[in-house]
A and B are shown apart, each in its own frame.
Chain A
Amino acid sequence: MRPHILSLVAIGEDRGDGNTSLRQIIAMQEDLHNGLGRHRINASIGIHDLDRIKFPLTYTTTNENFSFIPLDEDVSRTIKEIINSTQNGMQYGYILKNLGKYPILKDADSNVLSFPPVINGSFTKVITTTINLLIEVTAKNRKIAEDILSILAAALSDAGYKIHIVQIKGNEEIINSPNMNSFRIDLDRNYVNKMLGLDLTIKEITKCLNRSRLDVATIDDKSIGCIVPRYRIDISQPIDIVEEVAIGYGVYNLRPTLPPSKSVGHRNRTSVEFDVIRETMMGMGLLEVMNSNLVSRRVQYELMGINEPEKPLAVEASKSIEHEILRDSLIPSLMRSLGRNIHEGYPQRLFELGKIFKLNNKIVNESWFLGAVIAHNVADYTEAKSIVQTCLKIGFGKDSITKPARNPIYTDGRSADIIIDKQAIGVVGEITPIVLDNFRIRVPVASFDLNLSLLLLL
């Protein structure tokens, strides 16, 4: 529920400018709703015409049959109607779901100010001629309500409003709202200089902080106490004050310095092994392509003519059917690359280095794979086998053999497992004509893939 409510009164003056400052406050209300308020789940804000209200106000609960005239409507509606049939109700009503009771804020004449977090009442509606405001924040916890109200109070004060206290009688205490008590963060001059790489005196640090609109209470020549206004909710630690010093000093005044390195750098083993693979593939005339890890079911299974596994690694709520599942083989994406380039010159020989993903006992295994496709008038098993065996031989000094193996994407009798030291590390074969037809490819294609994660362990 929303047990906390805080409020303030802002007395304005008519400046005859069509109330631009009020408009700005209302725009800010939306930002706060969505940000700190997490789309009103954590907190929501009501802005009301003070002059319509008769104090004291009561924040209480009611049932779904209670009715009032909601904002921007002419007729009275029950809470139930509001939740089920108004736009705001449908958007925010779920926040109160299953509570059975509904929060409501009323004035002394029982006029409804708001039904948080869903909608305000029509009675206290703010219009362009409204001058004096009452603002209330209801929230899950008091800190968020205070944070939001302090930000609004600071903005209203900047806009020329006079802020007045609202006294709130809670079950256990009387609160004077808004809480605008500043707080103090102490920090060492050395810490500031160490983090920024500068050598500022206390006096200079104070000057920087003043430029960032922060007051400083000097402690001694080594440390300061920084006075932080309540509304600076972005500041909680000494490091946050360091940033204020940097901004006050001016980032453009900082001088980039290159610290000496204590270490000698190197790339990891995978990078080095991949260099070798790329070198051998390029030497045999293959061109590298890059595809996404996330692919569509259509390309991965349907066009390849294979059954979708029982539990493919699907992502939730993807915005595109192109990115539904993590791929479990590189060949489909390579086939699609060929299918998209049928008007380009042949031969087309492509390779890709990429990860594939497999679910194994509720754990996802990621393995690096090399995939290649060879497409031209006389592409065949022999050429693909030559390429893969040459790669293994000159890249890694490994002799490999091939043993017949059936595979649904390859023509029967024209596919094999690639075996090193009795371990199958890949598959090579001629793609079936039906798969070629699915991708609209008009020349024969031979392909292979290699499990590099496995190969590099051998």
Chain B
Amino acid sequence: MNANSNLHPIELSLLRALEKGQLMSIEELVDSTGLEIDQIRRGLEWLRFKNMVQINDKIINIVLLGSNGKKAVIEGLPERRLVRAVQKDGINTMTKIGKARLFDNMNEMTKAYEIAVYRNKWIQEHLPEGSISEATSEKILTATKGSERLSCEEKLLLKLNKKQITIIDELNAEEHKSLNLFKRRPNYIVEQKQKITEYTISSKGKETITSLTNKDQVQSERRLTQEMITSGKWRRIRLSPLDVEAPVHLLYPGRKHPLINIIEEVKEAFVGLGFTEISGPIIQSSFWNFDALFTPQDHPARDMQDTFYISELRQEDNLATDAHIEKISQIHKIGWNNKWDVEEAKRIVLRTHTTPVTIKYLAENRPENARVFCIGSVFRNEKTSYKHLAEFNQVEGIVTDENVSLQDLMGLQKEFYSKLGLKKIKFWPTFFPYTEPSLQSMVFIESLGKWVELFGMGIFRPEITQAIGIKNPVLAWGGGLERIAMLRFGLHDVRELYNNKLEWLRRTPRCPL
């Protein structure tokens, strides 16, 4: 068996880097192999396990920048700051320098002066012209040509700043001298002892790599090309193994909007229960959106504050059959004890629910039995917030048959939820204007540990079904789909479903577990 087949490509790279028998730190291996630091750590572990590398720990003395040293990297050493000040117009005497407040204290200023003038010879002093005595006039300071060069202390400072760890033994003579000068200045440098780990190839490792190199006379290729395949060159080459564990980029998939995924699931649940899909316009007359559902004409839900009306449009033609208009107006006059105005019924609304579509279906087809459902956009004139939208998607299912009851409605509901993965449900009596009896359903969401209100349901009031010529009871249920989508995708703000953030659309899991 080929020894090569036992070596991972990372191991191979590491052994090649260590082949000469020298000691190398992890950082040096990063530089020489071009591998990621995690890959190197992993590879070294494997090689250690196979006894192909040895570890050598040693203690070294290192030097790091202290707090003043770090400050000096940014602002310059005190003597450098002094020279810079002198080069600026006007600040050319010690009195003026004192006033400019360049230094934390007098001591620092004095030290800077001594180093700049005497040690580094960056500054010359002379008396002003015409003056003869230091007693009467202060010396003028000027920067010398020498100030343009870096001092040996500055050079060391830059070196310490550039390297994370500097080993004292590796410093040259001049750097040693600077180091000693720095030691006399407080908090510029810190000396520490540190353990470093270095790796070297073992004799077993060396044997393996040598035998490999000897055998490895066949040319190794990284990529199989069309040319290699057609020319037959593939017979003479060997494809090098890849790091099959290396990370890769995820792709941008073409996919459906997550809410569409939910809508399709809901449709499938309905179809499985024997329901047929119907659809209808978003633009509706008030007649079908409200009047046919027994909503009194002065009901607050019909106010502009709650419902979107289209300015100045009226449904003049094809509002409904004369018989429908007559019967609906009758139930309003009896039920709401006020007059009913056909003009109000002609107003054009953006449907506030999908029920105008289902009720119109019933009125036009007058089925003795039917199961239909409708999914689509509905509108409410609301300010949008984390829990409200002006426009959302609603689903509604209706069943009519000679013998269907409230318990059947509950059973259909339970089955419907169960198809969506919601198993724990309960019912609650409630009030809806056009159903009686009416129930509210709640489902238990395990991940939240609480009950959440979902669809409302009920049996259409007999006034309504009789007016449109339906003999049998009509069971109905429905509600917004966004709530289900939020629960499924773990959203807390309903607006996130519609703001089309690509990161979310591309990456949100199709079926979160």
Question: Do residues A319 and B390 form an inter-chain contact, with CB atoms below 8 A?
Answer: yes
Are B497 and A290 neighbours in the complex by a CB distance under 8 Å?
A: yes
For residues 287 through 308 of chain A, which have their beta carbon under 8 Å from a beta carbon of chain B? 287-294
- CB-contact partner of B407 in A255, A344, A357, under 8 A: A255
Interface flags for B126-146 (1: CB within 8 Å of A; 0: not) read: 000000000000000000000
> A289 and B257 in contact (CB under 8 A), knowing A265-B274, A317-B381, A319-B382?
yes
- B310 and A313 within 8 A (CB): yes
Q: Is A239 an interface residue (CB 8 A)?
A: yes
Q: Check B391 against A294 for contact (C-beta < 8 Å).
A: yes
Please report the C-alpha to C-alpha distance between residue A237 and residue B437 in the assembled complex, in whole angstroms: 12
In the complex, which residues of chain A have a beta carbon less than 8 angstroms from the beta carbon of B300?
A: 38
Of the candidate stretches A74-82, A110-118, A127-135, A194-202, the one touching chain B is: A194-202
Given A195-B459, A267-B267; A288-B257 close (CB under 8 Å):
yes
CB distance from A234 to the nearest CB of B (A): 8
Contact B276 A263 (CB under 8 A): yes
Q: With the chains together, A357 CA to B259 CA distance in Å?
A: 23
In the complex, whether A397 has a CB less than 8 A from a CB of chain B is no
Write the nearest CB–CB distance from A71 to chain B, whole angstroms: 26
| A141 at interface, CB cutoff 8 A | yes
- Check A386 for interface membership: any CB of B closer than 8 A: no
**Does A257 lie within 8 Å of B407, measured CB to CB?**
yes
Q: Complex Cα distance A294/B412, Å?
A: 34
Residue A55 lies at the interface, judged by CB distance under 8 Å to chain B: no
A378 proximal to B (CB < 8 A): no
Q: Which of B455-497 contact A (CB under 8 A)?
A: 459, 461-463, 473, 497
Give chain A residues whose Cβ lies under 8 Å from the Cβ of B260. 278, 288, 290
- Asked if A320 lies at the interface with its beta carbon under 8 angstroms from chain B, I say yes
B436 proximal to A (CB < 8 A): yes
- Complex Cα distance, B350 from A355, in Å, reads 13
Contacts of B253 in A (CB 8 A): 282, 285, 287
- CB-CB nearest in chain A for B373: A265
Chain A neighbourhood of B502, CB < 8 A: 287, 341, 344-345, 348
A169 CB within 8 Å of chain B = no
Across the interface, name the chain A residue whose C-beta is closest to B392. A292
B267 CB, nearest partner CB in chain A, Å: 6
Asked whether A341 and B500 contact (CB < 8 A) given A42-B298, A251-B439, A254-B410, the answer is: yes
Identify A317's interface contact among B256, B305, B338, B498, CB under 8 A: B305
Asked if A315 lies at the interface with its beta carbon under 8 angstroms from chain B, I say yes
C-alpha gap A165/B405 in the complex (Å) = 44
Does the CB pair B252–A345 fall under 8 Å? yes
- B505 at interface by CB-CB < 8 Å: yes
Interface: A422 (CB within 8 A):
no
Residues facing A in B260-283 (CB within 8 A) are 260, 267, 270-279, 281-283
With an 8 A cutoff between CB atoms, is B70 at the interface? no
Does A284 lie within 8 Å of B391, measured CB to CB?
no
Q: Mark B396-410, 1 if CB is under 8 A from A, else 0.
A: 000101011111101
Instruction: Please report the C-alpha to C-alpha distance between residue A99 and residue B29 in the assembled complex, in whole angstroms.
Output: 97
* B410 engages A266 (CB within 8 Å): no
- Does A242 interact with chain B (Cβ within 8 Å)? yes
With a CB–CB cut-off of 8 A, which chain B residues contact A257?
405, 407-408, 410-411
A187 to chain B minimum Cβ distance, whole angstroms, is 12
Answer whether residue B230 sits at the interface, using C-beta atoms and an 8 A cutoff. no
Size band of the interface chain B makes with A: 35 or more
Cβ of B311 and Cβ of A316 under 8 Å apart?
A: yes
A360 vs B428: C-alpha distance in the bound complex, in angstroms? Answer: 46
Kindly report which residue of chain A lies nearest to residue B272, judged by CB atoms. A265
A366 at the interface (CB under 8 A from B): yes
Instruction: Report B290-332 residues with CB < 8 Å from chain A CB.
Output: 298, 300, 304-305, 308-311, 313, 316
If the complex has contacts A256-B414, A315-B310, are A265 and B436 also in contact, measured as CB distance less than 8 A?
Answer: no
Chain B at the A interface: SS class: mixed
Question: What is the CA–CA distance of A195 and B275 in the complex, to the nearest angstrom?
Answer: 21
Instruction: Determine how close the nearest CB of chain A comes to the CB of B382; give it in whole angstroms.
Output: 7
Roughly how many angstroms separate A319 CA and B383 CA in the complex, as a whole number? 6
B461–A239 contact, CB under 8 A? yes
Q: Does residue B503 face the partner (Cβ distance < 8 Å to A)?
A: yes
Q: B80 near A: Cβ within 8 Å?
A: no
Query: A456 on the interface (CB 8 Å rule)?
Result: no
Bound complex: CA of A194 vs CA of B505, how far in Å?
A: 48
B499 CB–A CB distance under 8 Å? yes
How far is it, in angstroms, between the C-alpha of A9 and the C-alpha of B259 when the chains are bound?
Answer: 58
* B371 at interface by CB-CB < 8 Å: yes
- Of the residues B252, B271, B304, B406, contact of A266 by C-beta under 8 Å: B271
Report whether A144 and B437 are in contact in the complex, using a CB–CB cutoff of 8 Å: no
- Is there a chain A Cβ closer than 8 Å to B199's Cβ? no
Is residue B342 within 8 Å, beta carbon to beta carbon, of the partner chain?
Answer: no
B501 within 8 A of A: yes
Chain B CB count within 10 A is highest, among A198, A258, A259, A271, for A259
Chain A residues within an 8 Å CB radius of B383 = 319-320
- Chain A: CB-nearest residue to B370: A263
In the bound complex, do residue A344 and residue B503 qualify as a contact, i.e. CB atoms below 8 Å apart? yes
Give chain B's interface residues, CB within 8 Å of chain A: 252-257, 259-260, 267, 270-279, 281-283, 298, 300, 304-305, 308-311, 313, 316, 335, 337-338, 348, 350, 369-371, 377, 379, 381-384, 390-391, 399, 401, 403-408, 410-415, 426-429, 431, 436-439, 459, 461-463, 473, 497-503, 505-506
A-B contact pairs, 16 of them (CB 8 A): A141-B337, A195-B406, A198-B407, A252-B426, A256-B414, A257-B408, A257-B411, A258-B408, A265-B271, A266-B271, A270-B279, A282-B254, A282-B256, A287-B253, A288-B505, A366-B283
Residues of A within 8 A of B (CB): 38, 41-42, 141, 143-144, 194-198, 234, 236-237, 239-240, 242-243, 246-247, 251-252, 254-259, 261-268, 270-271, 278, 281-294, 313-320, 322-323, 326, 337, 340-341, 344-345, 347-350, 355, 357, 362, 364, 366
Q: Which 7 A-B pairs have the closest CB atoms?
A: A261-B274, A197-B405, A197-B407, A243-B437, A256-B410, A256-B411, A282-B254
